[in-house]
Structure 1
Amino acid sequence: MSDKEGGASEGGLNVTLTLRLLMHGKEVGSIIGKKGETVKKMREESGARINISEGSSPERIVTITGPTEGIFKAFSMIAEKFEEDITAAMTNSTVTSHPPVTLRLVFPGSQCGSLIGKGGSKIKEIRETTGAQVQVAGDMLPESTERAVTISGTPQAITQCVRHICSVILESPPKGATIPYRPKTMPGAGHPVFQQQQQQQHASQAFTIQGQYAFPHQDEWMPLSPQVLRSWRYPTTLLAA
């Protein structure tokens, strides 16, 4: 998603962008920090506006708006914060492999074809150039015309990958109206029993190594009723290529 202000030069110096990330509550809490200190620092140092959607959904939308260099700085700071979280979580772990940082962006589906390229040529080029893994969802996110794009790698690789993606989307504006993805609120999210379960979940889960910050496995939620669990199922498979 982008808004051009002036000409879009090769370096994107005259362009203001708006990018949207899809995060789970634990990720959001990490970038907000104690008393909002972390996100405040990110805003001040990057010069980008960072807004987080309200609500009690397990997913939140984080919107980053600003000049291109501000956007890249904000992404770099977010990726580095998640890297710190992974390192801290593995301090007393017996796992030897260090999982990559993972960010999920959402883009209008009409722009994703350009991002993939003919026969997958563009996305292959981005992977090889940046060293990051990039996956574009095959289907739209629920009740929207947006698709998820998942980026994994080192903070440096992720920032370079975002640069390449921004270049592509600036050259390929979305076609037609875009229906943005809005995460749904969990049924019963405000109920004290749910809040207690959620606190216990967050306290014990730490990091799900596969796909960093992935949804809790269903068996971890089983103290709640199967009927409620069925109503909460989100199509997380959309986030895979």
Structure 2
Amino acid sequence: MASPDGASGAEGGPEEPELSITLTLRMLMHGKEIGSIIGKKGETVKRIREQSSARITISEGSCPERITTITGSTDAVFRAVSMIAFKLEEDLGAGSADGAAAGRAPVTLRLVIPASQCGSLIGKAGAKIREIRESTGAQVQVAGDLLPNSTERAVTVSGVPDTIIQCVRQICAVILESPPKGATIPYHPGLSLGTIL
């Protein structure tokens, strides 16, 4: 008698495990990209937050690189990444008139991922990362070196926004399946410059 009850209780269920996962994605961005994402008086980042319902924080600091952290349900995070990718294409691709004529300029996102998860992302003899490249059409590069003073690596994803979004989805699926091992020392831009006067 328990099984029909169980089944009826689970009808609304398939969505729930997905929604209850909180995903945090960290991206390394240059000043120009940060300017594009924040927008005039912070209007752009406010719109992305509202429409994606993800939490988005941008590290403080005057150094040329900053970390953008996106947290929320997997759907919210992907919506935010999608909006960011299209915004970067619109702003940074528009700068070159010849770029527009030659087709869409590729967008590059640099994800910051604990090194202990990069092995799963690359896969045996590079099989996993090759599969992600082939199925999405995006360029994916995992840095060989750790980011300064951290246990994280940069994973660079390039392509048109649609391919980038598919690629980020697949990367996140791998990351969610293989949690980081040991303590992660997060990367903070600017710390590698030694003493800041």
For Structure 1 versus Structure 2, the TM-score category normalised by the shorter chain is 0.7 to 0.9
Contact 1:133–1:153 under 8 Å retained in 2: yes
Aligned partners of 1:45, 1:139: CA distance in 2, in Å?
A: 36
In structure 2, C-alpha distance between the alignment counterparts of 1:189 and 1:29, rounded to whole Å: 23
Distance 1:165 1:152, change over 3 A: same
With over 3 angstroms needed to count, the CA separation of the structure-2 counterparts of 1:87 and 1:56, relative to structure 1, is closer
Return the structure number with greater helix share.
Answer: 2
TM-score normalised to structure 2 length: 0.86
Corresponding residue for residue 158 of structure 1? 164
| Partners of 1:52 and 1:62 within 8 A in 2 | yes
Q: Which is further off, 57-66 or 92-101?
A: 92-101
- Letter of the 1:169 counterpart: I
Paired position in structure 1 for 2:6: none
CA shift, 1:99, in A, is: 3.1
- Structure 1 spans left out of the alignment, 5+ residues: 1-7, 191-241
Residue 88 of structure 1: which of 86, 89, 94 is its match? 94
Determine the structure 1 residue equivalent to 2:55: 49
TM-score (structure 1 length as normaliser):
0.70
Distance in 1 (CA, whole Å) between partners of 2:100 and 2:52 is: 36
User: Partners in 1 of 2:72 and 2:138 — Cα distance?
Assistant: 23
2:127 counterpart of 1:121:
yes
Residue-by-residue CA offset, 1:77-96 (whole Å, 9 max, x unaligned): 00000110133202367983
**Contact 1:51–1:64 under 8 Å retained in 2:** yes
Tell me, in whole angstroms, the C-alpha distance in 2 between the residues paired with 1:15 and 1:23.
25
Q: CA RMSD in A?
A: 2.6
1:19 equivalent to 2:19? Answer no
Structure 1 residues 189 and 110: alpha-carbon distance in aligned structure 2, compared to 1, 3 A threshold: closer
Instruction: State the partner residue of 2:107.
Output: 101
Q: Does 1:76 align with 2:82?
A: yes
* Kept after mapping to 2: 8 A contact 1:115/1:165: yes
Give the drift of 1:12.
Answer: 3.3
SS of the equivalent of 2:19 reads coil
CA distance 1:57–1:97, change in 2 (3 Å): same
**Alignment check: 8 A CA contact 1:23 1:59 kept:** yes
Residue identity over aligned pairs, in percent, reads 68
**Secondary structure at 2:156 match in 1:** strand
Secondary structure of residue in 1 paired with 2:181: coil
Query: Offset of 1:75 from its aligned partner?
Result: 0.4
Q: Specify the SS of the correspondent of 2:148.
A: coil
C-alpha separation in 2, matches of 1:74 and 1:180 = 22
CA distance 1:121–1:10, change in 2 (3 Å) = farther
**Cα pair 1:64 1:71 within 8 Å, conserved:** yes
Q: Which 5+ residue runs of structure 2 have no aligned equivalent?
A: 1-13
2:181 is aligned to: 175
* Offset at residue 14 of structure 1 (A): 2.6
* CA offsets 1:91-121 (integer angstroms, 9 cap, x no match): 3679836431000010100000000000000
The one-letter amino acid of 1:45's match is Q
Cα distance in 1 for partners of 2:17, 2:92 equals 32
Deviant stretches of 4+, over 4 Å: 8-11, 92-95, 185-190
Taking structure 1 as reference, are residues 55 and 119 closer, same or farther at Cα in structure 2, changes over 3 Å only? same
